[in-house]
Amino acid sequence: MARACAGDLDAYEDLVARYTAAAHRAAVLLGAGDDADDVVQEAFVKAYRKLRWCRADTAFRPWLLAIVANETRNLHRSRRRRDALVLRAASRADPSVSGPDDPAAAALAAERRAALVAAVGALDERDRDVLVCRFLLDLSEAETAVALGWPRGTVKSRTARALHRLRARLDADLTKGVGRA
Amino acid sequence: MPDPRDDQLAGELRDLGQWLVTPAPPDLRTAVRERLSAGSPRRTSRRWLAAAAAVLLALVIAVVPQTRTAVAHAATALLRFAGIELESAPRSGSLPATPSPLPSTQFATLDEARRQARFSIGVPARLGPPESIQLADHDATGAPRVVSLLYRGGTVRLDEFDGELEPYFAKKIDTAGVVWADVHGHPAVWIPTPHPITYIDRHGVRHDEAARLAGATLIWQGAITYRLEGQLTADDALAIARSTG
């Protein structure tokens, strides 16, 4: 990290190799879709230019994710859409992920996940961003604050609010579902 | 009070992360390296983009420690911040022995400076009224481009200018120890080591003949750009910056 900060391209290449997967996943989940590769490439180029002005002890990951999040927002603005989260096809589901053997229960769980994805997608951008960072990417409050450029208190309050709204939406969908049945 | 149902929902979202399609990450090492080696920013904001170069005053040169070797470090990097171009590069050649001051420098009172300058002049409450004030590089109407407030016999100086417009100063710095800071929510940069500084005049001409070695410097941006230089600790400099209004 210190060598990368001093402008050593070999050292920076190691950082690129180490953090590409995390940055790419963040870009995809924040809605960059097929443009995630470009977003991450741009983020690494910008991070390098800014790197020499950061201290070697600064945590690199949340700081890089902040640039990724920003680039992704720019992308949404320029193409006026945000790519939705995509669920894996059920057949490709990893059986190690607490999958119940009961096919009916598995189908219910899959349905619930689809409902979650749809409900998250219907939230407004900031609610979605905070839920993606905190839970889908499993960042801490402090890391989320850096990644989204918000004060930590805002992360806390907006997380609570976003969860509340998400639940209200899910409950409403459920009621509609019951009404149809 | 968090609703337990929200906690449960948070758990479901954490679990959901594993069920989402995320394509395999690309190998970006070569692409990133090529772009960095080419050194061409694809998109930069106006402020960072402004071209290079310029001169600054010689008043302080006598009191600044002449540790020029401290400035020589490899790696070419460029950062444009608030009308100041910062460059991390090995230094070649030596600085002029007797750098000339900023173009058309004249002394003024605070009132005169406020009347003549096109921007609002900030005075740091922590330092109080300046001992003297210099106006430099006047335009045809007599408005100065740079206003400098001098303190402690000239060993502490605060340069003020509208850095949104174009670059005013070029600095070559040793990036070790350079730290980002924050002044009332605006970014600031602290350069702890002596470094050569050059003034870029209003025509974009770089006055290398006036290059000199600047001491520890804090640069920050409020309504205008401030450049505080002198024998100060980072904490002192930040306290002064935060008291400027």
Give A6 or A84, the one with higher predicted confidence. A84
DSSP at B23: P
- What is the C-alpha separation between A40 and A61, in angstroms, rounded? 13
Q: Kindly state whether residue A91 falls inside one of the protein's structural domains.
A: no
Q: Kindly state whether residue A46 falls inside one of the protein's structural domains.
A: yes
A73 and A130 share one domain: no
What's the pLDDT score for residue A30?
A: 92
A114 and A146 share one domain: yes
**What confidence tier does A52 reach under pLDDT thresholds 50, 70, 90?**
low
All residues at 6 or more sequence positions from A86 whose CB lies less than 8 Å from its CB, including other chains: A117, B20, B21
What's the pLDDT score for residue A105?
A: 78
* CB atoms B15 and A97 under 8 Å: yes
Q: Kindly state whether residue A170 falls inside one of the protein's structural domains.
A: yes
Which chain B residues in 186-205 lie under 8 Å from chain A, judged by CB atoms?
189
Total count of domains within chain A: 2
Long-range pairs for A148-157 at CB < 8 Å and ≥24 separation? A148/A66, A148/A69, A149/A66, A149/A69, A149/A70, A155/A130
- What is the C-alpha separation between B188 and B234, in angstroms, rounded? 11
Instruction: Quote the mean pLDDT of chain A.
Output: 81
What's the pLDDT score for residue B155?
A: 83
From chain A, pick out residues whose CB is under 8 angstroms from the CB of B41. Answer: 45, 49
What's the pLDDT score for residue B19?
A: 84
Question: b/e per residue, A10-25, with b = 16+ CB within 10 A?
Answer: eebbebbeebbebbbb
Is B34 at the interface with chain A, CB within 8 A?
no
From chain B, pick out residues whose CB is under 8 angstroms from the CB of A23. Answer: 25
A106 and A142 share one domain: yes
Amino acid at B31: A
A171 and A129 share one domain: yes
Domain of A124 in residue numbering reads as 101-180
- What is the C-alpha separation between B126 and B153, in angstroms, rounded? 16
Is B4 at the interface with chain A, CB within 8 A?
no
pLDDT over 80 (residue A114) = yes
What is the residue-level pLDDT of chain B in tens, covering all 245 positions? Answer: 568 888 899 999 998 888 887 888 888 888 888 888 875 444 333 222 222 222 222 222 222 222 222 222 222 334 455 566 666 544 444 444 444 457 777 888 999 999 999 888 999 999 999 999 989 888 888 888 889 999 988 888 898 887 655 566 666 665 556 777 777 777 777 877 777 677 777 676 666 655 666 778 888 877 788 889 888 888 899 999 999 87
* CB atoms A135 and B13 under 8 Å: yes
A57-110 tens-digit pLDDT: 457 888 889 889 989 988 888 777 777 777 765 544 444 445 556 777 777 888
Domain end residue (candidates: A48, A79, A110): A79
From chain A, pick out residues whose CB is under 8 angstroms from the CB of B25. Answer: 20-21, 23-25, 40
- What is the C-alpha separation between A83 and A106, in angstroms, rounded? 26
A9 and A66 share one domain: yes
Q: Kindly state whether residue A8 falls inside one of the protein's structural domains.
A: yes
Beta carbons within 10 angstroms of residue B116's beta carbon: 17
From chain B, pick out residues whose CB is under 8 angstroms from the CB of A150. Answer: none
A75 and A134 share one domain: no
A12-36 tens-digit pLDDT: 888 899 899 999 999 999 998 888 9
For A135, which of B5, B14, B26 is closest by C-beta distance?
B14
What's the pLDDT score for residue B2?
A: 66
From chain B, pick out residues whose CB is under 8 angstroms from the CB of A17. Answer: 27, 29
What's the pLDDT score for residue B136?
A: 85
Q: Kindly state whether residue A17 falls inside one of the protein's structural domains.
A: yes
* Helices (H), ranges, chain B: 4-16, 29-38, 46-49, 110-116, 234-242
A63 and A121 share one domain: no
Is B223 at the interface with chain A, CB within 8 A?
no
Residue of B nearest to A55 (CA): B179
Task: Give me the CATH number covering residue A158.
Answer: 1.10.10.10
Q: Kindly state whether residue A84 falls inside one of the protein's structural domains.
A: no
Is A95 at the interface with chain B, CB within 8 A?
no
Is B176 at the interface with chain A, CB within 8 A?
yes
Domain-wise residue ranges, chain B: 47-242
What's the pLDDT score for residue B96?
A: 46
> Beta strand pairing status for B169-172 and B84-88?
parallel
* CB atoms A37 and B26 under 8 Å: yes
What's the Rg (C-alpha) of chain A?
19
Identify the residue among A161, A163, A165 best suited for mutation to test binding to B, counting B beta carbons within 10 A and taking the highest.
Answer: A163
* CB atoms B20 and A117 under 8 Å: yes
**What confidence tier does A172 reach under pLDDT thresholds 50, 70, 90?**
confident
Is B125 at the interface with chain A, CB within 8 A?
no
Q: Kindly state whether residue A114 falls inside one of the protein's structural domains.
A: yes
ipTM of predicted assembly, 2 dp: 0.84
**What confidence tier does A120 reach under pLDDT thresholds 50, 70, 90?**
very high
Task: Give me the CATH number covering residue A41.
Answer: 1.10.1740.10
Is B12 at the interface with chain A, CB within 8 A?
yes
* CB atoms B16 and A28 under 8 Å: no
* CB atoms B9 and A120 under 8 Å: no
